[in-house]
């Protein structure tokens, strides 16, 4: 059974970027889950599906499983939600494992028959469907804070290149204290945070750091090699696993 741990939830208030991920207990295809408590110290991609045994959802499950090892290297776990019961989820993932080009799904799939979790997270959009979740993606950091949210309609499969890019970009921003420019991919220049007060602005004007490409006082780029990024991020991942 699902049980919201918060004493009170404001009706129709969905969590936003910067909020603490709402806490809940639920049953999954991998057993009981206490979220996000069970993932303390880990990044999590929490994503929803409209229904079991649907073609777009099936392609997404396969793709998530294919990328699982890459996410694992980035200290990132996957948690899925579909509005359905555990027997239905189990039958679906078994069918995926048996089909040509399928995969053995190992990440947990939450049972949410009464849609309480989906509604708490704003995964149910009533103008689309009052019983099926849209394709939502919540990227949650090791402190349980929501860092990014994506929504896709039922007919459109997710862009997994972008989901991976977001995870790497957020971890890069945290690890190197930089900002990420438009269309960035690892290996391209990152942004130096702009001065936030007059003292920082004066320091910026007097001392230009080596390798900094300043276009304006508020827009400066610097190089950051992809090897440097992945070495730092995967070291953190390895450390988290050892300490778990």
Annotated catalytic residues are 57
Residue 148's beta-bridge partner residues?
139
C-alpha to C-alpha distance for 79 and 108, rounded to whole angstroms: 6
Question: What's the token pair of residue 55?
Answer: 């073609």
Chain-centroid distance of CA 165 in Å reads: 10
| Beta-sheet strands, E only, within 73-189 | 76-82, 109-111, 135-140, 146-152
Question: Exposure string (b/e) for 85-122, b if CB count within 10 Å is 16 or more?
Answer: eeebbeebbeebeeeeebbebebbbbbbeebbbbbbbb
DSSP E strands: which ranges in 29-181? 31-35, 43-49, 76-82, 109-111, 135-140, 146-152
Instruction: Report residue 46 CA to chain centroid gap.
Output: 6
C-alpha gyration radius of the chain: 20
Distance CA 54, CA 83 (A): 12
Report the C-alpha gap between 86 and 29 in whole angstroms. 6
Residues contacting residue 87 through CB under 8 Å, at least 6 positions apart: none
């Amino acid at each position: 059974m699902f049980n919201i741990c918060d004493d009170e939830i404001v009706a129709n208030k969905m969590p936003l970027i910067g909020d603490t991920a709402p806490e809940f207990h639920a049953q999954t295809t991998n057993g009981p889950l206490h979220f996000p408590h069970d993932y303390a110290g880990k990044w999590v991609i929490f994503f929803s599906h409209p229904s079991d045994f649907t073609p777009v959802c099936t392609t997404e499950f396969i793709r998530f499983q294919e990328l699982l090892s890459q996410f694992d290297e980035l200290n990132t776990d996957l948690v899925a939600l579909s509005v359905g019961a555990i027997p239905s989820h189990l039958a679906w993932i078994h069918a995926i494992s048996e089909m040509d080009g399928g995969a053995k799904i190992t990440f947990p799939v939450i049972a949410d028959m009464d849609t309480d979790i989906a509604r708490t997270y704003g995964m149910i959009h009533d103008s689309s469907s009052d019983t099926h979740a849209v394709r939502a993606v919540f990227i949650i950091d090791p402190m349980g804070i929501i860092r990014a949210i994506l929504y896709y309609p039922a007919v459109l499969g997710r862009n997994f290149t972008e989901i991976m890019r977001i995870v790497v970009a957020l971890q890069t921003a945290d690890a190197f204290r930089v900002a990420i420019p438009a269309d960035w991919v690892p290996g391209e220049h990152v942004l130096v945070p702009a001065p936030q007060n007059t003292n920082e602005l004066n320091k910026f004007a007097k001392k230009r750091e080596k390798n900094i490409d300043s276009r304006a006082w508020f827009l400066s780029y610097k190089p950051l090699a992809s090897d440097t990024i992945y070495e730092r991020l995967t070291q953190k991942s390895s450390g988290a696993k050892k300490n778990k």
